[in-house]
Amino acid sequence: MYEHILVPTDGSDVAEAAVDHALDLAEKYDAEVHALYVVDIDSVNYSLGTEQVDRLKQGRFDEMGELKEQADEATGVVAERGAERGVAIVEHVSGGRPHKVIGDYAENHDIDLIVMGSHGRAGVRRALLGSVTERTLRSTHVPVLVVDYLDED
């Protein structure tokens, strides 16, 4: 049923809960998991210079220091957990508007299912869904499994 599962991640607790669901499904269906970290160009536009934003748009993340470290850490968690469970993982970092990058990635990589958190690190939690999750649901034809995270503390 599922051969390629996409899990967008920002390293937040709710994203990591989505990773667990994606890996469970990947084990069950012998699927490959794609871990995608999206640098939101609109969010970083104000804190970075024009040259750095241009690098992000071109996909040149190796020169981005802290942003690159955050991206590598977030997708690295998926890769580590996948390796522990024998699941093939593809790591990818991209820049742009997150919902658009997620939708384009899904379309261009024959993704069968997107598994994502109900909200991420950025902003105040909305009543139902985070803006990236909501926009992804509205802008793709790929099925989306939305995972929430309940803090046990």
Residues 6 or more apart from 78 whose CB is under 8 A from it? 7, 9, 19, 22, 23, 33, 35, 89, 91
Does domain 7-120 match CATH 3.10.520.10? no
pLDDT exceeding 70 applies to what percent of the chain?
74
How do residues 82-92 score in pLDDT, each as one tens digit?
A: 999 999 999 99
Domain map of the chain by residue range? 7-120
Q: What is the DSSP string of 18-82?
A: HHHHHHHHHHHHT-EEEEEEEEEHHHHTTTS-HHHHHHHHTT--TT-THHHHHHHHHHHHHHHHH
Residue 129 scores a pLDDT above 60? no
Question: How confident is the model over 23-80, as pLDDT tens digits?
Answer: 999 999 999 999 999 988 766 555 555 666 566 655 565 555 677 788 899 999 999 9
